[in-house]
Amino acid sequence: MNHWFGLSKVQGSDIDDEDGFFQVMLKYSHKESLIGAFFHIKGGGEVKQNDGLVAGHLYSVLDVRRAGTMLGMGNGYKLIKLRNPWASGEWKGRWSDGSEEWKKHPTIAHEVNYSDANDGSFWMSFDDFTGKFTAVEICDRTTKNDLCLDIGEGDGCFGPTAGCVSGCAAYWCLCRGARTIYFGNATSDKTETKAGCCVTK
């Protein structure tokens, strides 16, 4: 089930404030749902902006964070991590790669696993995100709780053995198999509720 959300109003719900919209995005991100964001300009087409973004271009939303809440920073910082599918061309504003915000807040950088790499992925403040992007599309589907077997490709011949042992242990001993089969994610026409205060990523 795909949900289309305009940033001024979440379709099909009573959430019409930006903080409520952020809480909904945070909840879907926590579920590891697929999220995309884009913005249009008059005349259409794809046009590179001075701030590094490309209008008319769909970006992947990789992460949504309410960072700093556990560090006594009040409500923390609402941050969105996006990726340009071209793997090049990044946001140049606040919280972008190499920006002053990361130097001023090294604990936030550590919390969100920030790295300065020219890979098309970047962070933005939620305020800048809502000021630039006009729509978000979310696929109400997650692989977070799917049954899978990690064969640990980077661990050589030991990887498949470790993956089989841990996978079987999770399936049988931790009841992951029964939980996934009987209580799996079900798509819905209704928008997710807001994330609770304990959900920060």
Closest CA to 96 of 64, 128, 142, 143: 128
* Global confidence as pTM: 0.72
Which pLDDT tens digit goes with each residue over 53-98?
988 888 999 999 999 877 555 678 999 999 998 887 899 999 999 9
Q: What does the domain layout of the chain look like in residue ranges?
A: 2-142, 153-182
pLDDT at residue 10 tops 50: no
Q: What is the topology classification, in CATH, of domain 2-142?
A: Cathepsin B; Chain A (3.90.70)
Q: How far apart are CA 185 and CA 195, in angstroms?
A: 17
Strands (E), 17-76: 33-38, 47-48, 54-55, 59-67
Q: How far apart are CA 186 and CA 54, in angstroms?
A: 34
pLDDT of residue 146: 64
Q: How far apart are CA 30 and CA 142, in angstroms?
A: 10
Q: How far apart are CA 7 and CA 59, in angstroms?
A: 15
Range in 22-26, 55-59, 93-97, 170-174 with the lowest mean pLDDT: 170-174
Q: Are strands 77-83 and 121-125 parallel, antiparallel or unpaired?
A: antiparallel
Which pLDDT tens digit goes with each residue over 179-188?
776 666 666 6
Closest CA to 32 of 77, 6, 63: 63
pLDDT at residue 106 tops 90: yes
pLDDT of residue 3: 56
Please check whether residue 76 is in contact with residue 67, taking contact to mean a CB–CB distance below 8 angstroms: yes
| Residue found under tokens 């800048």 | 128
185's torsion region: left (phi>0), alpha (psi -120 to 50) or beta? Answer: beta
Sign of CA dihedral 127, 72, 31, 10: negative
pLDDT of residue 126: 93
Please check whether residue 31 is in contact with residue 63, taking contact to mean a CB–CB distance below 8 angstroms: no
pLDDT of residue 93: 94
Q: How far apart are CA 80 and CA 95, in angstroms?
A: 10
Q: How far apart are CA 80 and CA 88, in angstroms?
A: 18
